[in-house]
C-alpha cells in the first residue's frame, strides 16, 4: 500500500512541475512562445497553434493532477466511521485483591516527656 502511495505522489509532483513550466511559458497577453517565434505576425508558419497546445497542456495537466489526487485518496483512504470495526472483548480475570490492607495506620505518639518540677 505504501509503494502505491509513493508512486502516486511522485506522479503528482511530476505533473505539478510540468504544469508550472507550461503556465510560466505562456504570456497572458497572447504572446508567450508564439511571440518568441513569430513576433507580431504569429499567423505565419503556423506558430499560432503554440497557444492552442499550451492551453490544452494546461487543462490536461490540471485534470491529471486532480484525477491522481482523487485516485490516491480512494486507494489509500482509511475505512469510514459508518462501519465500525468490532473489537473482541478481552477475556482476562480481574486482578485479585489481597485480604490485608496494604497500608496500616499507626496512632501518633507524643515524643515529648512531661515537664518535671
Q: Which of 21-25, 26-30, 38-42, 112-116 has the highest mean pLDDT?
A: 21-25
For every residue of the chain, which 3-state class applies, written as one string? CHHHHHHHHHHHHHHHHHHHHHHHHCCCCCCHHHHHHHCCCCCHHHCCHHHHHHHHHHHHHHHHHHHHHHHHHHHHCCCCCCCCCCCCCCCCCCCCCCCCCCCCCCCCCCCCCCCCC
Q: What is the pTM of this model?
A: 0.51
Give the model confidence (pLDDT) of 32-56 as tens digits: 555 555 555 545 555 556 678 888 9
Amino acid at each position: 500500500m505504501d509503494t502505491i502511495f509513493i508512486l502516486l505522489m511522485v506522479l503528482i509532483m511530476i505533473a505539478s512541475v510540468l504544469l508550472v513550466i507550461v503556465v510560466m511559458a505562456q504570456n497572458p497577453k497572447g504572446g508567450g512562445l508564439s511571440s518568441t517565434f513569430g513576433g507580431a505576425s504569429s499567423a505565419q508558419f503556423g506558430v499560432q497553434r503554440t497557444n492552442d497546445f499550451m492551453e490544452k497542456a494546461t487543462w490536461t495537466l490540471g485534470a491529471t493532477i486532480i484525477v491522481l489526487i482523487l485516485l490516491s485518496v480512494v486507494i489509500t483512504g482509511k475505512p469510514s466511521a459508518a462501519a465500525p470495526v468490532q473489537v473482541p472483548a478481552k477475556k482476562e480475570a480481574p486482578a485479585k485483591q489481597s485480604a490485608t490492607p496494604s497500608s496500616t495506620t499507626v496512632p501518633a505518639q507524643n515524643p515529648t516527656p512531661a515537664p518535671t518540677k
